[in-house]
Amino acid sequence: MIREYKTIAEIASPLMVVKQVEGVTYDELGELELPNGEVRRCKVLEVDGDTAVVQLFESAQGINLAQTKVRFLGHPLELGVSEDMLGRVFNGMGEPIDGGPAILADAYRDINGLPMNPAARAYPAEFIQTGVSTIDGLNTLVRGQKLPIFSCSGLPHAALAAQIARQARVLGADESFAVVFAAIGITFEESEYFINEFRRTGAIDRTV
């Protein structure tokens, strides 16, 4: 059963303290309902007795301590997944930002995932060709592997990342191959560059 609380004690954006809570756990997703009906999301950072410290995902502006309702949903943040995600662009909360329709999820997955047992993992053997000789020859990628790219200002990291995502393919495999492209801390101009580059080359069709 989802309970609603009107026991917000303090707000110091982006943190909020809620008193007299029951059964709330770490990393649990929550919703705030403002007096005007607007709903904002948050998550639990810490629980001490009947007090929960919550992180707001959005602005604290307009939150009335006495009249705003807080409800905890009993699960962490989840992402709805589907093959329809291919070719789409999402924000950090997994919401479409390309003007297309909402995704009809086949399943919902905890964004935190589960710890992997390295002894039970299938041996990685499918070579991914990126078309970048220094990567293919010296730092070979295999299917399922993450490739972080760290760079400094002024270096062509955007062009390199776009090139890898555009050219990546599994040699000798006829099955479908998709690229999940995630960018953290980039500017709006860089975001537009990636989106336009993927669309221009057709790579967007197999990219999320």
The string of DSSP codes covering 143-189 is TT--------TTS-HHHHHHHHHHH-EETT--S---B-----S--HH
119 located within any domain: no
CATH number at 20 reads 2.40.10.170
pLDDT for 56:
93
Residue 85 lies in domain: 81-114
Q: What are phi and psi of 188, to 5 degrees?
A: -60, -40
Same domain flag for 104 and 157: no
- Are 65 and 85 contained in the same domain? no
On whether both 186 and 138 belong to a single domain, the answer is yes
Residue in the block written with tokens 């995502």? 165
Residues 90 and 68 in one domain: no
Assess whether 20 and 89 both reside in one domain.
no
Q: Which CA distances in Å does 116 have to 112, 113, 127, 178, 201?
A: 12, 9, 21, 21, 35
- What is the identity of the amino acid at 187? T
Using 50, 70 and 90 to split pLDDT, how confident is the model at 43?
very high
- Region 144-172: mean pLDDT is 82
Question: pLDDT band at residue 142, thresholds of 50, 70 and 90?
Answer: confident
DSSP run (H or E) holding 194: helix 188-201
Question: Could you tell me if residue 103 is inside a domain?
Answer: yes
Task: List the one residue out of 199, 193, 185, 128 whose CA is nearest residue 159.
Answer: 193
Q: What is the pLDDT of residue 154?
A: 80
Q: Decide if 176 is inside a domain.
A: yes
pLDDT score for 86: 92
Q: For residues 131 and 164, state if they share a domain.
A: yes
**Same domain? 102 vs 137:** no
Task: Determine the residue type at 65.
Answer: L
Total number of domains constituting the chain: 3
Segment 79-120, tens digit of pLDDT: 888 999 999 999 888 889 988 898 898 999 988 877 878 787
Mark which of 62, 96, 114 sits at the end of a domain.
114
- At residue 158 the predicted structure's pLDDT band, cuts being 50, 70 and 90, is confident
| pLDDT tier at 187, thresholds 50, 70, 90 | confident
170 within some domain:
yes
Whether residue 98 is found in the same domain as residue 28: no
Q: How many CB atoms lie within 10 A of CB 2?
A: 9
Check pLDDT > 80 for residue 137: yes
Instruction: Clarify whether residues 91 and 50 are in a common domain.
Output: no
